[in-house]
Amino acid sequence: MGVLVRWIQERVPITGDELRELTNEPVPNHLKRWWFCLGGTPAYLFVVQIVTGILLAFYYQASPETAYESVRYITEEASFGWFVRSLHKWAATLMVASVILHQLRVYFTGAYRKPREINWMIGMCLLVCTLTVGFTGYSLVYEQLSFWGATVGANIADGVPVVGGLAKQLLLAGEEYNDRTLSRFFLLHAAVLPTLMVILIAVHVTLIRLQGVTEFVDEKHPEKDRGSFNFFPDHLYTELIMGLVIMILLTTLSTILPATMGPPADPLTTPEVIKPEWFFYVAFRWLKLFSGTAAILSLGFIVFTMFVWPFIDAFLEKRWPRSEASVWIGIVGTLLIIGLTLWEAAVEH
Amino acid sequence: MSLSAKQAVIGILGFLFLLSLVFVQYTEVTRRRAEAGIGEVHVIVPDSSKACVDCHVQSTPAIIDHWKSSNHATTGVGCYECHLADPKDADSFDHYGKSIATIVTPRDCARCHQQVFDEFEASHHAAAGNILASLDNFLAETVEGARMPFAPHSPTPGDSVDMVNGGASVAVGCMQCHGSKVAIEGTDGSLITMDELAPDENGQPTNLDAVAKILRTDDGRPVFHASTWPNTGIGRLNLDGSAGSCSACHSRHDFSPRRARQPENCGKCHLGPDHPQKEIYEESKHGVAYRDLKDEMNLNGKEWVLGEDYSQAPTCATCHMSGHMRNGGKVTHDPGERISWTNRPPISLRMDTDINGAVIKEKDPAVRRELVADTWQAKRQRMKDVCSHCHTSTYLNGFYKQYDDFVVLYNEKFAKPGTMIMDALKTNGLITAKQFDEEIEWTWFYLWHHEGRRARHGASMMAPDYAHWHGMYEVAERFYQELIPQAREHADHAEEEGETEAANAVRKVIDDILARPEHAWFENE
């Protein structure tokens, strides 16, 4: 045993004590609250997505002639195919939800403020990547929702002044949905966006380690939040518990509500009702409320505002100190997102 | 939370996760078993049928197995729910304290399936039993068999035959498709049928004298006449006055919708030399597609709506009975609702039907209009609604033009002239009133009943070989090479016998027919 340890240490020059010191970075006490684990949750689900995505890619064939049939094969014939596909679908749903919840937590605890503005913007990039990977994901099934969702998405991109046409061409690999579109979506979904996300997550986590976790002190119980605890094993246990809860939740959802398939894509039959996945409901309703370029530009403006919010917040704080303007804007914005999503969910058209 | 508490939570959650994976494995195994057809069925045995199942699982285990795989079994419809009988019913008997009947009639099924019963009773299927005493049955009852028992010709080694049952051919042939008139043996040797029982609107006998003389076994069961039961003919005439047998298509005791959706099911009766619909379908592109794609046709589906649940190929049920997207998935149990020609008689008729569903033969247009309850055009439109899931209106109209032209050609060139010749022979006394005692009657029967139907059915369901070689080619050969020469032979014979006027009358009919331009090729230069 000693020989083996010595052999490894000669090649990996780090001792056990050094490793413990590295992992045992003090974690602020407020992280003992469960809802502060929301940052680790999307990362965990991202790993689930990579594993299940690789398994699905063994069977998936990205062309209009074969895509739907290959997904049907995965769902109905391949051993445990339905389970892996359902895990992938539900993990995607939970990942989007947990990214949004994580962002809300960061926003309302002011964790984006100086010196963490860049990390907020990286988080925003991760949100956009998550939504885009979701969009390209359900486009791959090549059911009616896939085809017409992609077509509507491309037409929305086309509405952007100046660069819209180019964006549409880049998305569809042509003026309209064609034989090359699906392989482009597959490449974006399974290679480009995941690689980008791995890089962004690495930078995101590195910056957290470099800057340290924002210390949050509850004014009502300051004594409870002051101080810190060890990452290993205390915080790791917390993350492990979260991971197990997620896996149980995913398995339960996958068996009780497994992923289904809609009618196959039919370019000649426009569905009477076409709706995107739930996480696009807010944008979809917004575009319906303000039709045309105005809707697209206003939506772009909102996203841009979210990107640069740390700087706007700093300006507001400087101009109106202790006004809590960002909190009120956040509450209004959150209610707006929930309201528009429920509205879109409730109506048929 | 302390570290030890966290460790305990991790242990519990880890166990729950493993448990959830076991559940996933169970789901996968269940799915595989269901795919392989060995899945567990959640059978609900109602209290009323528990004793039946417990006993019959020993005495007739296959029946119980069949029932277990039925939708009835999963919805709590057991043996008693179908076999229950009012003690006043003619065929009821006490079976371990319960009043039941052996034969489950459409009236019994109507207790739950009233609409299906109404549609079926209005259909031509339900009237199939009317073939008894018709021309076809004269063949089986008299020509093939005998209307009475008769003594054997000579001893059969190894067997002792006292009397020959002259109705044996009818019982296993005609009646197994068309349906028997179910009869119970009487104590005086008579047969007791619905005619004797005179059932009321509830199916209960009004003639109690007939009921009183029903022959019963020692345990009280009525003794069915073996020539009439067992029988699953679709037009069976039941003791309660209802017509038909649901099990003709929905085989007992599993009542499989999957089976009823397949053409093989109809092929029990719709095949053979006189109405080879099954073979015609197999030759058609529809049948070819069905053989290739049947595994993808969702035949096991709870619903089976064309355009929603499948679209690979049509079966008999698809076109004639099943629901489709354009009619809201409504199934009909009257296959005649979508048929615009009846090709059953010697001369095809348009399917204008009266309020009883009978084809109207009235020629006066005004009177005809008064009688029509459902036009042939409405029936054709219903069929087009099915076809249009796969075919454009141009294609459909083109097909129906071809079909109509073909039927009209057959009617005008062969069927009407043939009918005129046979009528002329009969009215002038050159052939007897008795059927099938002269060769020309067999010739004419082959022409319209076998070859003529094959031709018309072949055209109706896109089977070119049946329309032509097995159809019109043989019709033409039979007409020119047999019917005309045989009719002339009858005329010549009549002249030799001194019946010149009758002979000339028949010759005139034949000559007038052959002088028409469509027959000119035959004898003219």
**pLDDT higher than threshold 90 for residue B302:** no
Checking DSSP bridges between strand B349-350 and strand B341-342, what pairing results, if any?
antiparallel
What mean pLDDT comes out for the span B76-102?
94
∠ CA A22-A26-A27, nearest 5°, is 120
C-alpha dihedral sign at B321, B322, B323, B326: negative
DSSP code at position A17: H
Asked if B255 and B72 count as a contact pair (C-beta separation under 8 A), the reply is: yes
Predicted confidence (pLDDT) per residue in A18-68, tens digit: 877 776 777 777 777 766 777 788 999 999 999 999 999 999 999 999 999
Q: Does B293 touch chain A (CB under 8 A)?
A: no
Q: Does A247 touch chain B (CB under 8 A)?
A: yes
Q: Does B6 touch chain A (CB under 8 A)?
A: yes
- Residue B18: CB partners within 8 Å, gap ≥ 6? none
The count of other CB atoms within 10 Å of the CB of residue B128 is 24
Chain B residues touching A248 at Cβ < 8 A? 13, 16-17, 20
- Three-state DSSP state, B335: helix
Asked if B503 and B495 count as a contact pair (C-beta separation under 8 A), the reply is: yes
**pLDDT higher than threshold 80 for residue A231:** no
Q: To the nearest whole angstrom, how far is the Cα of A30 from the nearest Cα of chain B?
A: 13
Q: Does A90 touch chain B (CB under 8 A)?
A: no
- Three-state DSSP state, A104: helix
- Residue A87: CB partners within 8 Å, gap ≥ 6? A48, A52, A250, A251, A254
Q: How far apart are CA A6 and CA B366, in angstroms?
A: 111
Mean pLDDT lowest for which of A28-42, A75-89, B138-152, B338-352? A28-42
The count of other CB atoms within 10 Å of the CB of residue B31 is 16
Our CA dihedral for B134, B136, B140, B141, rounded to 10 degrees, sits at 10
Q: Does A233 touch chain B (CB under 8 A)?
A: yes
Both tokens of B139, joined, read 């063949």
Determine whether the interchain pair B6/A254 forms a contact, defined as Cβ–Cβ distance below 8 Å. no
**pLDDT higher than threshold 70 for residue A219:** no
Q: Does A241 touch chain B (CB under 8 A)?
A: yes
Q: Does B151 touch chain A (CB under 8 A)?
A: no
Q: How far apart are CA A206 and CA A44, in angstroms?
A: 17
> Identity (one letter) of the amino acid at B419?
T
Both tokens of A69, joined, read 């049939």
C-alpha dihedral sign at A240, A242, A248, A253: negative
Helices in B303-387 by DSSP H: which ranges? 316-320, 365-371, 376-387
Phi-psi region of B158 (alpha: psi -120 to 50; beta: other; left: phi over 0): left
pLDDT category at A152 given cuts 50, 70, 90 is confident
Asked if B94 and B220 count as a contact pair (C-beta separation under 8 A), the reply is: yes
Determine whether the interchain pair B10/A241 forms a contact, defined as Cβ–Cβ distance below 8 Å. yes
What is the longest distance spanned by two Cα atoms in chain B?
126
Determine whether the interchain pair A32/B27 forms a contact, defined as Cβ–Cβ distance below 8 Å. no
Residue A279: closest CA among A44, A101, A109, A111: A101
Domains of chain A (ranges; CATH) run 27-214+221-270 (1.20.810.10)
The residue in chain A having the minimum alpha-carbon distance to the alpha carbon of residue B10 is A241
* Residue located via tokens 């029509």: B372
Both tokens of A150, joined, read 């992609």
Both tokens of B156, joined, read 């059969």
Q: How far apart are CA A106 and CA A120, in angstroms?
A: 9
| CA end-to-end span of chain B | 114
From the list B7, B14, B27, which residue is nearest A244 (CB)? B14
Mean pLDDT lowest for which of A101-105, B38-42, B158-162, B289-293? B38-42
**pLDDT higher than threshold 80 for residue B86:** yes
Q: Does A332 touch chain B (CB under 8 A)?
A: no
Residue A154: closest CA among A289, A71, A305, A276: A276
Residue B350: closest CA among B275, B293, B400: B400
Q: Does B10 touch chain A (CB under 8 A)?
A: yes
Asked if A95 and A46 count as a contact pair (C-beta separation under 8 A), the reply is: yes
Asked if A341 and A282 count as a contact pair (C-beta separation under 8 A), the reply is: yes
* Residue located via tokens 């005495």: B59
From the list B1, B13, B23, which residue is nearest A255 (CB)? B23
- Between the CA of residue B506 and those of A121, B411, B423, B499, what are the distances in Å? 104, 20, 9, 11
Residue A325 CA to chain centroid, in angstroms? 27
pTM of the model: 0.61
Predicted confidence (pLDDT) per residue in B25-84, tens digit: 888 787 777 666 566 667 889 999 999 999 999 999 999 999 998 889 988 999 999 999
The residue in chain A having the minimum alpha-carbon distance to the alpha carbon of residue B2 is A234
Residues of chain B with pLDDT > 70: what percent?
97
Q: What is the pLDDT of residue B14?
A: 84
Q: What is the 3-state secondary structure (H, E, C) of B418-445?
A: HHHHHHHHHHCCCCCCCCCCCHHHHHHH
Rounded to the nearest integer, the mean pLDDT of chain B is 92
* Residue located via tokens 């303000």: A290
Q: Does B28 touch chain A (CB under 8 A)?
A: yes
- Residue A316: CB partners within 8 Å, gap ≥ 6? A323, A325, A326
The count of other CB atoms within 10 Å of the CB of residue A3 is 7
Chain B residues touching A251 at Cβ < 8 A? 17, 20-21, 23-24
Q: What is the pLDDT of residue B35?
A: 63
* Residue located via tokens 């944008």: A283
Both tokens of B126, joined, read 């339900």
| CA end-to-end span of chain A | 68
Asked if A261 and A64 count as a contact pair (C-beta separation under 8 A), the reply is: no
Helices in B166-284 by DSSP H: which ranges? 168-169, 175-178, 194-197, 208-212, 257-260, 263-266, 277-283
What mean pLDDT comes out for the span B187-215?
94
Q: What is the pLDDT of residue A204?
A: 94
Q: What is the pLDDT of residue B1?
A: 67
Asked if B377 and B340 count as a contact pair (C-beta separation under 8 A), the reply is: yes
Residue A58: closest CA among A46, A71, A47: A71
Asked if A140 and A62 count as a contact pair (C-beta separation under 8 A), the reply is: yes
DSSP code at position A317: H
Report which secondary-structure segment, H or E, holds B342.
strand B341-342
> Identity (one letter) of the amino acid at B481?
Q
Predicted confidence (pLDDT) per residue in B474-487, tens digit: 999 999 999 999 99
Checking DSSP bridges between strand B191-192 and strand B184-185, what pairing results, if any?
antiparallel
The long-range contacts involving B131-134, CB below 8 angstroms and separated by at least 24 positions, are B131/B174, B131/B178, B131/B235, B132/B174, B132/B175, B132/B178, B132/B181
- Residue A118: CB partners within 8 Å, gap ≥ 6? A207
What mean pLDDT comes out for the span B312-326?
95
Predicted confidence (pLDDT) per residue in B322-365, tens digit: 999 999 999 999 999 999 999 999 999 999 999 988 899 999 99
Determine whether the interchain pair A248/B16 forms a contact, defined as Cβ–Cβ distance below 8 Å. yes
Determine whether the interchain pair B28/A79 forms a contact, defined as Cβ–Cβ distance below 8 Å. yes
Phi-psi region of B169 (alpha: psi -120 to 50; beta: other; left: phi over 0): alpha
Length of chain B: 525
Mean pLDDT lowest for which of A184-198, A273-287, B189-203, B430-444? A273-287
Looking at per-residue pLDDT, the higher value among B19 and A308 belongs to A308
**pLDDT higher than threshold 80 for residue A248:** yes
Predicted confidence (pLDDT) per residue in A156-202, tens digit: 888 888 888 898 898 888 888 888 899 999 999 999 999 999 999 99
- Between the CA of residue A198 and those of A43, A47, A128, B94, B197, what are the distances in Å? 10, 10, 14, 78, 86
- Three-state DSSP state, B194: helix
Determine whether the interchain pair A240/B21 forms a contact, defined as Cβ–Cβ distance below 8 Å. no
